[in-house]
Structure 1
Amino acid sequence: MKVLILLLSLALVLASADHHEHHHHADGASSYVVKSHDDLVSYRNACAEKVHAPAELVAKYKKWEYPDDAVTHCYLACVFEKFGFYDEEHGFDVHKVHVQLSGPGSSVDHSDETHQKIAQCAETHSKEHNSCAKAYHSGMCFMNANLNLVQHSVQA
């Protein structure tokens, strides 16, 4: 369950997309398919392997601990990419992150406070030049500001 919460929270981090960039993604949010716990586990494993994360870092990730280092930055960027929320060229898609958090079949109000919080984190870190660092800092911003929301959305 913690892995699911972690991965979903990472997805939320992706939601902290660049405020300017997220508008062109809006049409794709309606066709976005909410990812499952199994997807999260698969993404986590693939990304840990991709970035060559040592076992001690992987153990930290499972406990919601994300050190501010290059390996962790790229690990989170990879997870967000696999969720379909983030890409190096366009940054985050706030709409898709919001849809993931709302769950399958839910109606999403992209003008609500949750959406605004996600967008604010994305905007705050949108000028970073390193793609992995941008993903990491935006994601940590969102998770730190909305941990209760993230945990609730995963359990719902």
Structure 2
Amino acid sequence: MKVLIVLLLGLTFVLADHDHSGHHHENYVVKTHDDLVTYRAFCADKVHAGEELVEKYKRWQFPDDAVTHCYLECVFQKFGFYDTEHGFDVHKIHVQLAGAGAEVNHSDETHQKIAHCAESHSKDADSCSKAYHAGMCFLNSNLQLVQHSVKV
């Protein structure tokens, strides 16, 4: 009986501390331009993107093709914004866009735009497509913020 009580107490603590989304934006560290450069190189290599595609990516041009879809998925994963199990972490994206040390109001218009993009593409067929289409939505809605957040 004592073992059962200990197990139940332990489970209570785990559940009380568990973030059901699987994300922990409170500990998110805003990434820099150097991080972006590192992630771009890693992901371009991972998906075998040719030089022509890599040059497009550097100019914030992302063609609608399978390689680019998986490239953006990889970049978002490296930033900590996205994982295949939980999808996008809207809070982390918003913190990144706001920048280091900025106060983030998760009920403002920017947050709502990010959430809309994440939700509107959450049912896409595969993980790369989901990441690409939501990512393009983010970029189209917030390109200046995105570019500013990593000091391009």
Q: Any idea what the Cα deviations from partners look like across 1:13-48, whole Å, max 9, x if unmatched?
A: xxxxxxxxx97256x111111111111110000000
Residue 76 (structure 2) pairs with residue 80 (structure 1): yes
Q: Describe the SS at the equivalent of 2:54.
A: helix
Alpha-carbon separation, structure 2, partners of 1:148 and 1:92: 20
- Greater C-alpha radius of gyration: 2
Check whether the contact 1:85–1:93 (CA below 8 A) recurs between aligned residues.
Answer: yes
Q: CA deviation at 1:104?
A: 1.1
Q: CA deviation at 1:55?
A: 0.7
Alpha-carbon separation, structure 2, partners of 1:110 and 1:148: 19
Q: Which segments of 5 or more consecutive residues in structure 2 lack a partner in the other structure?
A: 1-18
Residue 21 (structure 2) pairs with residue 24 (structure 1): yes
**Please, which of 104, 111, 123 is the counterpart of residue 108 of structure 1?**
104
Q: Describe the SS at the equivalent of 2:27.
A: coil
Paired amino acid for 1:87: D
Alpha-carbon separation, structure 1, partners of 2:30 and 2:144: 20
RMSD between superposed Cα atoms in Å: 1.7
Q: CA deviation at 1:147?
A: 2.0
Q: CA deviation at 1:145?
A: 1.9
> Does the C-alpha gap of structure 1 residues 132 and 88 become closer, same or farther in structure 2, counting only changes over 3 Å?
same
Check whether the contact 1:25–1:95 (CA below 8 A) recurs between aligned residues.
Answer: no
Residue aligning to 1:65: 61
Relative to the length of structure 2, the TM-score reads: 0.82
Alpha-carbon separation, structure 2, partners of 1:135 and 1:85: 10
Residue aligning to 1:126: 122
Q: CA deviation at 1:150?
A: 2.8
Q: Which segments of 5 or more consecutive residues in structure 1 lack a partner in the other structure?
A: 1-21
Residue aligning to 2:136: 140
Alpha-carbon separation, structure 2, partners of 1:82 and 1:152: 18
Q: CA deviation at 1:126?
A: 0.6
Q: Give the paired residue count.
A: 133
> Does the C-alpha gap of structure 1 residues 45 and 154 become closer, same or farther in structure 2, counting only changes over 3 Å?
closer
Alpha-carbon separation, structure 1, partners of 2:84 and 2:137: 18
**Please, which of 94, 98, 123 is the counterpart of residue 94 of structure 2?**
98
Identity of aligned residues (%): 71
Mapping 1:45-56, distance limit 5 Å: 45-56=41-52
Residue aligning to 1:6: none
Paired amino acid for 1:113: E
Alpha-carbon separation, structure 2, partners of 1:31 and 1:115: 18
Paired amino acid for 2:42: A
